[in-house]
Structure 1
């Protein structure tokens, strides 16, 4: 994926303000930026982990409130379909990531080609951020929709995972995400659901590899099932 990182880097010009999400490819892009301080790229991020990486690399890290415009937002994903709708579930920071996409002019996904499919991979869950008092009712409602729904455990301690906002994460699984828009709309309307990990009509393009391992940019409308 190094050549895809180069493709992302080549989109930039001096004095650009960008957003960096999470994931290994975003980390690689941050390292690439650190090698070119002459470009004076300003960086903001919804990810605590990515912000620390930027500090360690001495990048020009700013708060999103300091940015009047953000030209590019680079991020990873867990699954992406031909309409460039994505699931960003495993990181558990989708609420904050969506806030950043609202301010970004071009939200670009950097993804390995195997994650790009005609329809979203059902092995990747739909994740809900839910406030504590609503957990039981949301779990019940999700199961009523035929989903397998469970609270996400915290891998570091013997407890359930919490977001930086103090909320719980509920992972929902389905045999097929063919009706994900309908399912997502229903779950999003439930009391106590802060946001979901389904990003619809937000992505401008995806940077990935073609069948010959050449880096390519795919824009919305380029692919057909």
Structure 2
């Protein structure tokens, strides 16, 4: 089973967690897109909120009703992929540049379900560069502060988030204390948010493997 088949497998399984009358949060990226398509095929009476314009456009093209996140008081279920999942279920997200809005939805949701193929599992976070969204006028200052934390920092070229901000991709050798680093980075002047999602917010991880679906919680 290749990685795309594994993504489809967990996306279809996650779609079964949604039910009529719910508010469902939609993530961003290839695995999240499989989830949106699987969700649409169930023809449920649901309303969705999206973490990006492209996910909203996909959902609406498939007949799913969407609302802006600020118009929703609660989210019953949020499903999204991840770029890395540690053994402790901490995450790095933001390869698609939507981590700020993804985190907003994930942390507001009653249940946050992560769907990945097994190539995304790692012992410690850090193999995947950590995305940091920040205001453009703080780019130089932010880059220096992140380098002082031990990161190799590169500007994501020709990219702006849906909020209109640039992203610095930060390569750490290993992230031993994800929650602490998440807090430290978010306290840097100009930073909007970074791509660490602490394990306390994750309800369950569905992992696509050659043997089927593995559940981690």
Query: TM-score, with normalisation over the residues of structure 2?
Result: 0.89
Q: How many residues matched? A: 210
Specify the alignment match of 2:155 in structure 1: 151
Q: Secondary structure of the equivalent of 1:153?
A: coil
Q: Secondary structure of the equivalent of 1:111?
A: strand
The RMSD of aligned alpha carbons is: 1.7
Q: Equivalents in 2 of 1:93, 1:6: separation in Å?
A: 22
Structure 2 stretches lacking a partner, 5+ long: 1-5
Q: Secondary structure of the equivalent of 2:48?
A: strand
Q: CA shift at 1:52, angstroms? A: 0.5
Q: Equivalents in 2 of 1:146, 1:8: separation in Å?
A: 37
Specify the alignment match of 2:87 in structure 1: 82
Q: Secondary structure of the equivalent of 1:124?
A: coil
Q: CA shift at 1:92, angstroms? A: 1.2
Is 1:64 aligned with 2:62? no
- What is the CA deviation profile of residues 113-164 of structure 1, one whole-angstrom value per residue up to 9, with x for unaligned ones? 12112212x330111111122111111122222211121102xxxxxx2222
Provide closer, same or farther for how the CA distance between residues 181 and 99 of structure 1 changes in structure 2, counting only shifts above 3 A.
closer
Q: Equivalents in 2 of 1:175, 1:64: separation in Å?
A: 35
Specify the alignment match of 1:223 in structure 2: none
Specify the alignment match of 1:4 in structure 2: 10
Q: Equivalents in 1 of 2:191, 2:71: separation in Å?
A: 29
Q: CA shift at 1:22, angstroms? A: 0.8
Provide closer, same or farther for how the CA distance between residues 5 and 145 of structure 1 changes in structure 2, counting only shifts above 3 A.
closer
Larger radius of gyration: 1
Instruction: Please point out which of 20, 42, 46 is paired with 1:36.
Output: 42
Q: Secondary structure of the equivalent of 2:138?
A: helix
Larger helix share, 1 or 2: 2
Q: Equivalents in 2 of 1:76, 1:23: separation in Å?
A: 7
Instruction: Please point out which of 101, 117, 123 is paired with 2:122.
Output: 117
Q: Quick check: 1:124–1:173 contact (8 Å CA) kept in 2?
A: yes
Q: How does 1:1-225 map to 2 (within 5 A)?
A: 1=6, 2-37=8-43, 39-120=44-125, 122-154=126-158, 161-200=159-198, 201-210=200-209, 212-219=210-217
Q: Secondary structure of the equivalent of 1:102?
A: helix
Q: Secondary structure of the equivalent of 1:109?
A: strand
Q: Equivalents in 1 of 2:178, 2:42: separation in Å?
A: 41
* Most deviating of 191-200 and 56-65: 56-65
Q: Equivalents in 1 of 2:38, 2:31: separation in Å?
A: 11
Q: Equivalents in 1 of 2:177, 2:42: separation in Å?
A: 44
